[in-house]
Structure 1
Amino acid sequence: MSDKHIDHPPMQGAKLAIGTVAVSLATFMNVLDTSIANVSIPTISGNLGVSSDQGTWVITSFAVSNAIALPLTGWLSQRLGQVRLFVSSTVLFVIASWLCGLAPNLPFLLFSRVLQGAVAGPMIPLSQSLLLAAFPKNKAPLALALWSMTTLTAPVAGPILGGWISDNYTWPWIFYVNIPVGILAILGTWAIFRDRESATHKLPIDKVGLFLLVVWVGALQIMLDKGKDLDWFNSPVIIALATTSALAFVYFVAWELTDRHPIVDLSLFKLRSFSAGAAALSVAYGLYFANIVLLPLWLQTNVGYRATDAGLVLAPAGLVAVALTPFTGKLVGRFDPRLIATVSLLAFAACFFWRANYTSDVDPWSLTMPTLVQGVGLATLFVPLLGIILSGLPASRIAAASGLSNFLRILCGGIGTSIFQTAWDHRSILHHAQLNEVTTNYNPVFQQFTTQVQHVGTNQQQAYGIFNYVLDQQAAQLGVDDLFYISAILFLVLIGLLWIAKRPGHGGGDDASAAASGAH
């Protein structure tokens, strides 16, 4: 193995186009699997004979293993080389997808999803590294814009494709679709990039760091997933998981900061732009992803939408994002990326303030319009924030920085999903109790409702049951509106965090020197 830095010239023409498409296909397939199962959870749960709560592990098991694998990208790419690692990860991802489709029960499916998430980890950050190395330096914003288009459309296409497959075929096909896409990505990437392998180094394995990473992330995610079922901190299991995660995290940070060859380069957090940019992107993505899980679930369980229709509600956001993202790539070179990212956060806030006024008889037009605004937010989110995160870093640290920032992003997506599921239940229960307080025989609305229902052939007890069902619907509606409102407020708060970062190219020398001094 070599430890000499290798500089490959930028690619041009057909090779650049084919290479970009191949890497983008792999990225699209990877990101698609973070959301394709969202609207299919009721179908998968019913088919495997488990509850919907257990079925959500199909989403979070992928998220947690993916989150653990992501920050290992920098270390693995130095050991194996970026091209070999990317192609190997894609091959294993296809195999894991095939195993997911074959799953006869929930434990086997969860095992396959954990494997799929683990091998998917290096694919996203390496796709960024390969594209940035393939494009001329002055075209870096364009490379990030093309990369962003795949990561923006996949979460939106996922629910649509997943819903359509669930409604018209069998759920295993939401995983089998990865096989032909993956094969094309593998062949195209190897054909174009095999002669552009990065330098490799024989680094020792940081076994302690890896073990602590798995423990704290795994314990945290299990705590978030099981907290709702086990009544949170009233359960000794949840207390044990929280304690384990907190202690492992503290030891992990201390170990990684003092080890000679850390498996995760935490010195990146010394860079102000990396820290602020990664935090803003992670929290924004966590809010966005939690909501694209929540919205289809609410539409299916409370508004009566089919899986396909629930997925289609999100489609306009992807279309707007695809149309606008190339322009964002051009704007980043001309304007302060922090300003463009501020537009994104304001668009998200406007979208969720709009949704916070939904009622249970919401019409398709009212569902679609905020989604168009969300598309503007998506188009202006990734490119400027990635530019801020990676600004001033030498090429040798791009993979590590990309891996760590994507780790935080995916982890926040999983955490956000778990928190929102639990928060929706809690807010719905609270609103049901508040609505039920006025449900007395002295309330004319209650009297009129039960009287009208009894006129169509039901007895008093059945009328009360129907009224309680209506209360459940209204409580769930008020609960989801609360979460939309909270999301809007948090997007506004993130604007302040965003401006802590330096403007790329202004003070970049400090960033660069800090990056170089922190390199291992």
Structure 2
Amino acid sequence: MSEAAALSAPRAGSPWIIAVLVALATFMEVLDTTIANVALPYIAGGMGVSQDESSWVVTTYLVSNAIILTASSYLAKRLGRKTFFIMCLGLFTLSSVLCGFAWNLQVLLLFRILQGLGGGGMVPVAQSILADSFPPEKRGQAFALFGVAVVVAPVVGPTLGGYLSDNASWHWCFLINGPVGLAAMLLIGLILKEPESVTEERRKQAHGFDIIGFVLVATFLGALELMLDRGLEDDWFDSRFIVITAAVCVTAFIAMIPWEMNQKNPTVDVRMLASRQFGACFLVMLATGAILLGTTQMLPQMVQKDFGYTATWAGLVLSPGGLVTMGMMFVVGKLSGKVQPKYMIMTGAAVVAFAMYDLTRVYANVDFWFFAESRMLIGIGLPLIFLSITTASYNGIPPERTDQASALINAARNTGGSIGVSLAANILAHRGQFHQNRLIENTIPSNPAYQDTLHQVTNYFAAHGSSMVQAKQQALAWIGQTVQMQSSLLAYVDVYWALMLISLSAIPLALTLRKVKLGGGPAMAH
């Protein structure tokens, strides 16, 4: 994280100003992983695309974000942390504004990719800046502030996005980054100091960039996400396009492993991933990203579609969980010096799994607090996992590889989130169709229960002033809507069962982790 040739000490009294600015920039970047979630119906309607296609706005950002993370360590050393951070913040701010002015889905996805590339480089560099700006005994407090920004932002995102979409326009979900980003760039440029001598030294010490490895990683992740996003629309492997994309994905992955193993400064350190300690942390972070982003996508979508919530109220469903998460970050910070990471990860995974199980009890008449309380349970569990993964993942990593470790853990979170969103969308579509077919099998004239229901509902509408012909038509429409809603709810239940199993998978992985020296953990993961 910190190097011998680190940033010079900032001017007296300014470390906390730097911490606030860096945390603000990071908050803004992480916010954009989820701010568009509740705005997807508005985006789909405004651009004339399906809900599934509009979800690519979320996944393309996550993938491009994960890809650039693998190159962030080299670029930060080559350009200097301050220069690279401001460049990333500038690209992120500009592309955010361009997203707000996008005129069709293809252009919006292009700008979201650029936005992800700009944002992806900011977080690991922000961690390094904090480590260099504070003495060791103060870093824990600085990283706690940073951690609040990182973990709370995905929860604030839907609330803010919903309010802007309902009361202004979905375009403001992106345009709002413009003035904030410009102000952060200006202040960071004025306050953060990095002498030219340090930058020159880093340029001399920087190893050659593994361009082939970077291309292979980008190809693998890009093809994987393209396959997951387009698979449902193109009928999976019945589509020639999906088959070709899958072949490219597998080929890039197979070629990447031997290439990266033989590089002195690989884009992805395969040996690090193959180690028991770091590899297990990487997989746990993949699962955690899938849970965090999967639920943040599915929960607002469900309450909007099946319970009639506005985008604002759909976002507010997540707000109590954000407050719990904020409080838990400081609690976990205290516990991290006393409890082994493996036990906190296991506890957090169990709590999140229980929250997913709780959501499988959803039915048509549940109220706001049913969803909010489930999200609060998630808010208790996720911080236990996030901070503990960071402490455990850096254990045994030599100082010269900590930047690589930070990038990989951050990439795992975003890649897992992207996979989780795509997986949840596919389960929802397939199981929704399955449940609808099963329910329709019972809505036939020969079924006595169907005839009884039709008779009762027809009489209800007739008693409220409709003619018998109109009442029967209204009854048939009501039964159809009920079948559709029930099949949708059952499909969401299947999604939550899948996410629960993903949460439980973290428990045996945590058991494989070795004990670490407690106290003074490293920077937290994005």
Regarding TM over 0.5, the answer is yes
Residue 487 in 1 paired to residue 499 in 2?
A: yes
Question: 1:345 — aligned with what?
Answer: 349
| Corresponding residue number in structure 1 for 2:250 | 246
1:195 corresponds to which letter in structure 2? E
Deviation, structure 1 residue 21: 0.4
Instruction: Note the alpha carbon deviations across 1:124-156, whole angstroms, 9 max, x for none.
Output: 111222223333334444343222211111111
**Paired residue secondary structure (2:37):** coil
Q: Check 1:142–1:444 CA distance in 2 against 1; reply closer, same or farther (3 A cut).
A: farther
Shift in CA distance, 74/265, structure 1 to aligned 2, threshold 3 Å: farther
**2:118 corresponds to 1:122:** no
Q: How many residues align?
A: 504
Q: Match for residue 442 of structure 2?
A: 438
Identify if the C-alpha distance between structure 1 residues 231 and 360 changes in structure 2 by more than 3 Å, giving closer, same or farther. Answer: same
Structure 2 match to 1:81: 80
CA 1:257–1:230: 2 relative to 1, 3 Å: same
Q: Deviations over 1:444-492 (max 9, x none)?
A: 4322332234342336565334312211100110111122122223212
Shift of 1:244: 0.9
Match of 1:498 in 2: 510
Q: Which amino acid aligns with 2:496?
A: F
Give aligned-pair identity as a percent.
34
Q: Is the 8 A contact 1:145 1:383 kept in 2?
A: no
CA distance in 1, matches of 2:413, 2:373: 27
Q: 1:57 to 1:145 in 2, by over 3 A?
A: same
SS in 2 for 1:504: coil
Partner of 1:29: 28
Q: Does 1:19 align with 2:18?
A: yes
Amino acid aligned to 2:487:
A
Structure 1 residues 490 and 270, CA gap change in structure 2 (3 angstroms) = closer
Q: Deviations over 1:64-101 (max 9, x none)?
A: 21121111112212221222211110111111111111
Q: 2 CA distance for matches of 1:468 and 1:149?
A: 45
C-alpha distance in 1 between matches for 2:398 and 2:245: 38
Assess if the C-alpha contact under 8 Å between 1:344 and 1:378 holds in 2: yes
CA distance in 2, matches of 1:479, 1:54: 19
1:227 corresponds, among 224, 228, 231, to 231
Instruction: Work out the CA distance in 1 between the residues paired with 2:351 and 2:9.
Output: 35
Provide, for residues 131-185 of structure 1, a one-character-per-residue CA deviation record: whole Å limited to 9, x for no partner: 2333333444434322221111111111000000000001111111112221232
1:51, CA displacement in angstroms?
Answer: 2.0
Distance in 1, matches of 2:35 and 2:288, equals 20
Residue type at the aligned position of 1:46: G
Shift of 1:20: 0.7
SS of 2:391's equivalent in the other structure is helix
CA distance in 2, matches of 1:164, 1:289: 20
Supply the distance in 2 between the matched residues of 1:98 and 1:28 (Cα, whole angstroms).
17
* C-alpha spacing 1:8/1:98, structure 2 compared with 1 (3 Å): closer
Ranges in structure 1 where 5+ consecutive residues have no aligned partner: 509-520
Question: What is the letter of the counterpart of residue 169 of structure 1?
Answer: A
Q: How far apart are 1:391 and its partner, in Å?
A: 2.5
Residues 396-433 of structure 1, C-alpha deviations (whole Å, 9 max, x = no match): 32222111111121011111101100101111111112
Q: Determine if contact 2:38/2:315 at 8 Å carries over to the other structure.
A: yes
Q: 1:260 to 1:375 in 2, by over 3 A?
A: closer
Partner of 1:451: 455
Could you tell me which of 479, 487, 498 is aligned with 1:475?
A: 487
Aligned partner of 2:433 in structure 1 is 429
Amino acid in structure 2 at the alignment position of 1:27: T
After superposition, the Cα gap between the structure-2 partners of 1:10 and 1:355, relative to the gap in structure 1 and judged at 3 Å, is farther
Taking the aligned partners of 2:357 and 2:102, their CA distance within structure 1 comes to 41
The answer to whether the 8 Å contact 1:320/1:379 transfers is no
The separation in 1 between residues aligned to 2:9 and 2:345, in whole angstroms, is 28
In structure 1, the residue corresponding to 2:35 is in which secondary structure?
Answer: coil
Letter of the 2:93 counterpart: V
1:391 maps to what in 2?
395
User: 1:160 is aligned with what amino acid?
Assistant: T
Shift of the 134–339 alpha-carbon distance from structure 1 to 2, 3 Å rule, reads farther
- TM-score, normalisation: structure 1: 0.92
Q: What code does the residue aligned with 1:358 have?
A: V
Matches within 5 A, 1:187-226: 187-195=186-194, 199-200=202-203, 201-226=205-230
The normalised TM-score by structure 2 is 0.91
167-176 vs 205-214, which deviates more?
205-214
Query: Which position in structure 1 is the counterpart of 2:524?
Result: none
Offset, 1:11: 6.7
Q: 1:303 aligns with which of 307, 329, 338?
A: 307
- 1:272-300 per-residue CA deviation (whole Å, 9 max, x = no partner) reads 32211121122122122111101111111
Q: What is residue 106 of structure 1 aligned with on the other side? A: 105
The 5 A counterparts of 1:250-269 are 250-269=254-273
How far apart in 1 are the matches of 2:105 and 2:274?
42
- Give 1:28 shift: 0.3
Aligned to 1:418: 422
For 2:48, the equivalent position in structure 1 comes to 49
2:410 corresponds in structure 1 to: 406
Which runs of 5 or more structure 2 residues have no equivalent in the other structure?
521-526
Distance 1:13 1:300, change over 3 A: farther
Instruction: Say which is worse superposed, 220-229 or 327-336, in terms of deviation.
Output: 327-336
Q: Would the alpha carbon gap of residues 12 and 385 (structure 1) be closer, same or farther in structure 2, given more than 3 Å must change?
A: farther
The answer (yes or no) to whether the contact 2:343–2:510 under 8 Å persists in 1 is no
1:368 is matched with which residue? 372
Q: SS at the partner of 1:262?
A: coil
Please say if residues 427 and 494 of structure 2, whose CA atoms lie closer than 8 Å, have aligned partners that are also in contact: no
Which amino acid letter does the alignment assign opposite residue 206 of structure 1? D
Contact between 2:347 and 2:381, CA under 8 Å: does it hold in 1? yes
| 3-state secondary structure, aligned to 2:268 | coil
CA contact (8 A) 1:25 1:182 kept: no
Query: What is the CA distance between 1:359 and its match in structure 2?
Result: 0.4
Q: Over the residues paired in the alignment, what is the CA RMSD in angstroms?
A: 2.2
Give the direction of change, closer, same or farther, for the CA distance of 1:135–1:470 in structure 2 (3 Å limit).
same
Shift of 1:368: 1.9
SS in 2 for 1:392: coil
1:317 maps to what in 2?
321
* CA distance in structure 2 between the partners assigned to 1:73 and 1:80 by the alignment: 10
User: For structure 1, which segment, 111-120 or 392-401, has the greater mean C-alpha deviation from structure 2 after superposition?
Assistant: 392-401
Structure 2 CA distance for aligned equivalents of residues 422 and 502 of structure 1 = 36
Whether contact under 8 Å (1:273, 1:500) holds in the other structure is yes
CA contact under 8 A between 2:428 and 2:495: conserved in structure 1? yes
